[in-house]
Amino acid sequence: MRFNIILAAALFLLAGCFSSKNIDSDYTAEIEKYRVEYKKKFLENEHAPLQKADLPFLNFFAPDPTYRVTADFTRTPDAKPFEMPTVSGKVQNYVTYGTADFTLNGEKITLSIYKNLGLARMPQYRNYLFLPFNDATNSAGTYGGGRYLDLKTGDIKNGKIVLDFNKVYNPYCAYSDGYNCPIPPRENKLAVKIEAGEKNFTGKYKGEH
According to DSSP, the β-strands at 156-157 and 160-164 are: antiparallel
Rounded CA gap, 202 and 163, in Å? 26
Range of the structural domain that residue 92 is part of: 61-188
| Residue 177 domain flag | yes
d(C-alpha 197, C-alpha 35), whole Å: 9
Can you give the pLDDT at residue 155? 98
Alpha carbon distance 88, 57 (integer Å): 24
Tens digit of pLDDT for each residue in 128-179?
999 999 999 999 999 999 999 999 999 999 999 999 999 999 999 999 999 9
Q: What is the pLDDT of residue 207?
A: 75
Q: Dump the DSSP string for 94-153.
A: EEEEEEEEEEETTEEEEEEEEEEHHHHTSGGGTTEEEEEEB-TTBTTTB-TT-EEEEEEG
Q: Is residue 29 part of a domain?
A: no
How far apart, in whole angstroms, are the C-alpha atoms of residue 133 and residue 102?
15
Q: Is residue 202 part of a domain?
A: no
pLDDT score, position 15: 45
Tell me which residues of the chain have a pLDDT lower than 70. Answer: 1-23, 208-209
* Number of structural domains in the chain: 1
Residues in the chain: 209
The answer as to whether 184 is a domain residue is yes
